[in-house]
Structure 1
């Protein structure tokens, strides 16, 4: 960071500047009328921008909620100051608010419709794939599949128990290794990502898959993008 400040600024701009501008646009520019209140967004925005965890730069996930909250607090204060502007200065603000509203409604409807259509197909594929796993079997799965497996006695969130995760359980390395020996099934989807745990985030799923192959796991079921792996040979 200190050795290459210009390179750092360039990386931050590429990864996060566009997202921050989109969030600012979502307030219709009203947040700019209360600039001091924008400081509420600064800690979360900086934390996300400087993070090496790629998911924190993606608006799809929850990491920008703190930034968004600060922006809309500033927007609320800014809306109260709108009347103090002359009519000429109010016009661009109203125009920006209108654009933001149109974009929000249009994008929101398209995303909602796409997700609504895909959820039944995804759920059906997941349930069909999970039928391969006996109810008493120990399972490790990616986070998007945990809700379908949470009723089981022993279930782990990948990459645990095979690799430790930064926001995983409180189990020690030794305890994780002991539990990993008894995991019989692993389930993941191609589109899933894993929490960082000492390996490169862009390659984390591939890293775990290579490790699982070395441990004797083979794919026994695939439905759509849902993969079911079983440990064969030693009966664990």
Structure 2
């Protein structure tokens, strides 16, 4: 397996974020590596290429792109898959939900990548237990809880609710390696998901989004001042 059973850090910044830059993402990846991360998740061929010049860690690659008439935006079509194959990432993650897709079916996209690059592993970003089971049937190498809470039928839900009850359901429903991803905000939460039996865990915003981290501190201070009046 390309991914170690350990901490993977997501190094991403969208166009509306201050750190949007392949150079900056490469340095974030280096910082994550120096801090003990054993893998990186990154968005876009450009960012992955820059990261691979900086660290030798395995990379879960995605391409986020919106398509009209579809809610699928993580590695949605062959176009994004080809970009990732050219990036040299070891693992390609893709939306594996039941949402309407903009082009190929999920089965067709999996077959395309398997045929084009048998050495590249696949990670299914799912939102429900049903989707996790289907992803395993399609032969995904890893199943991630990435999209739980971000799809129309799971909006507002969190992976960590009720002591990770959703994660427990996924773990009991599939035998493929499960990757915990989504709102893992503290070292204690990271420890807990490994206790529950995940293969690996992806931590993103709690480590690599300083604007959001700062906002958390600032909001807490503002709330304290408001409540003291």
- What's the TM-score, normalizing by structure 1? 0.23
Structure number with greater Rg is: 1
**Higher percent of residues as strand:** 2
**Higher percent of residues as helix:** 1
